[in-house]
Chain A
Amino acid sequence: MLKFTRTKHVGIERPAKDKIIAHGFLDDYIYSMELDVEFSLPHYEITKIDGRMKRYTTPECPRANEILQNAVGMRIEPGLAEKVKKQIGRAGCRHYATLLLECCYAVISASIGFARADLEAEGLPADDDAVRRRLLVMLPSIRNRCMMYAEEGPLANRLFG
């Protein structure tokens, strides 16, 4: 018999070329909560955030809803995880922090699709390498974030020579 399960789900909409909305949901044996996060492009900056706790442990936990406003102005860039853990997690709720980071990581992944869509809309080639090049322009912070986008890695050599 399972002892514990945690599920996180993020759905992403792009209502305008310069706006992304992430809806995050976290549910486990102890906690259940939701976040709505708006990002503006091109800086991937959080412009709006709202959260609801449905299941929590102490009567103090819902006070963390107000603390979420600390996230407004944060950008997807190096140092984000530390900021979120401190300003949303320690100051408010670490499970909100976990869910907010999941929303941000999902936005990074979704940007692969945005890069392709933008290239197609501009009438430019949208093969996989063209998408990767555009992604690095949209989100320069992913450079060196993993072995594939390492400056000295095989992919960077192929993309940039």
Chain B
Amino acid sequence: MVLCHTRTKTASVLPIADDKLRVLNRIEDTFFSACVEIEVTLPDLEVISAKGKFERCFTDECKAAESLLQKAVGLRVGSGLTKLVDSLLAGAQGCPIVATLVFEACDAVILSLTAEQMAMADALDEQQRQDGFLQMVQMNPRLLNSCIAFDENGPLLKGKL
């Protein structure tokens, strides 16, 4: 069957200095084309710049949402980010596409740091990897019960914390 709609999103994280990352998040959808670019400092993970463009949208007035991006400056990538992004950028005075692009850009920063850790774990044997996951949860308690793998009663963590 022929597709009637497609949507592709790509978020890329590029280090631009020892203490700074640039994230580009782009959406290409049958009805929307837009991109958001943020810069985030390391190690405090503060958004120091945010800009973007709606290149194509079903309703021309949607382009006004570009100006919302300034509200993302000063955000810190960390706990509570979802609610903050929603309150600043989504809702009846905002744009869910812009809010989601910003949130995903911030999430990509966290994932890029996780990818570094996971790359180091590739060299470990299974037991060492399991010990590593336990250590991750101990260092970041927010991971506990955040998914099926980090279920406190699951095979990976039960009786070990």
Contacts and interface: CB of A to CB of B under 8 A. Distances in A.
Contacts of B156: 58-60
A82 to B, nearest CB: 10
What DSSP secondary structure best describes chain B's contact surface? mixed
A8 to B, nearest CB: 5
B14 A3 contact: yes
Interface in A138-155: 144-148, 150-155
Interface residues of B, number: 54
Nearest to A111: B5
B91 to A, nearest CB: 7
A29 B111 contact: yes
Given A3-B15, A5-B13, A12-B6, A30 B31 contact: no
A49 interface: no
A92 interface: yes
A14 interface: yes
B159 to A, nearest CB: 15
A37 interface: no
Interface of B: 1-15, 21, 29-32, 58-59, 61-62, 64-65, 90-97, 100, 104, 108, 111-112, 114-116, 118, 129, 133, 145-149, 151, 154-156
Instruction: In the A-B complex, list the 4 residue pairs whose CB atoms are closest, starting with the nearest.
Output: A4-B112, A110-B5, A60-B149, A12-B5
Interface of A: 1-15, 28-30, 57-61, 63-64, 67, 89-94, 102, 105-106, 109-110, 112-114, 128, 132, 144-148, 150-155
